[in-house]
Amino acid sequence: MSSLSKLYSLKTILLMISSAACWGIGTIMSKALLSRLPPLTVLVIQLASSIVFLWAIALISGQLQQVKQTQSKLLWRYGAPGLLEPGASYLLGLMGLTLTTASSSTLISSVEPVFILGLSWMLFKEQIQPLLFGLAAIAVVGVLLTVGVDLRSGDQSAIGDLLVAAGTGCAALYVVLSQVGARNLPAVSLAAIQQSIGLAGVIFVWVSLGQADQSQWATLPWNVWGLAIASGIVQYALAFWLYLQALKTVTASIAAQFLSLTPVFGVAGAYVFLGERLTQLQGVGMAIVVAAVIGIARMQSE
């Protein structure tokens, strides 16, 4: 492999790791907001902040000209996956979490990278190497140890589990379907289009469920508003921008495995910023995830 190819591969790997870091840190920021605002309201504010940020970057960088030159039907095709994520995946996940345990929800969500492998094979006939599938399975085990899932928990709801599984499936399908758009539009513009469409769907559900009560917004302190806006930029704008940029040069089946790093950054961030306790078992899980991802990164480099 030439030095230029190695540098290009390293850049892609760094993009995927950075996107996982943004999702993990953004989750911590969102957790702090949920004590002040309902989940759907937090999602609306975060997405709106992310969209404003992304369109501003697209405007400043001159990318809007390329968007204008793209046929409307193609823009809708590239942007439609936004209804899956952050649209349906987050909505279904939130509804499912109210009906089932956090452990069960985490267990189901952790297999998203494996879902993506299956969808890549079914929809695009992508050849999945046995080594990649094995490393993905190892990463899932590491994720479960990292988040501290109690597999003995018996308090589960079948409907809640199905909703979480459906949300996880939507997220996986989003990644696979976004490959085409990522290679035809600038990542910033694509993320802005997808999230604008996704926000429209979220607002429809938000209003339909009667949660669009804005009376409390005026009483929110400025630091809560600042955290909501910042978390939206980190968890949605930066995370999706970096991830879609990586999808320009790597397949979804490879890129998805780096999502396993998200809970690692989340747990580590909670330990550093929130003072949450980190157990030895979680440390082992984090090491397993990192080792599996290093193996996947080496596959990508080769």
- The residue ranges of every structural domain in the chain are 3-301
Whether 91 shows a pLDDT value over 80: the answer reads yes
Local confidence band at 4 (pLDDT 50, 70, 90 cut-offs): very low
Q: How confident is the model at residue 81, as a pLDDT?
A: 95
pLDDT classification of 104: cutoffs 50, 70, 90: low
State the pLDDT confidence band at 133, using cuts at 50, 70 and 90. Answer: confident
More confident residue, 106 or 229: 229
Per-residue pLDDT at 63: 86
Is the pTM higher than 0.85? The answer reads yes
Rounded (5°) CA angle 145-167-13: 60
8 Å CB contact between 139 and 257? yes
- What is the per-residue DSSP string for 163-213? HHHHHHHHHHHHHHHHHHHHTTS-HHHHHHHHHHHHHHHHHHHHHHTT---
The half-sphere exposure of 29 on its side-chain side, counting CA atoms within 13 A, is 23
Q: Using pLDDT thresholds of 50, 70 and 90, give the confidence band for residue 219.
A: confident
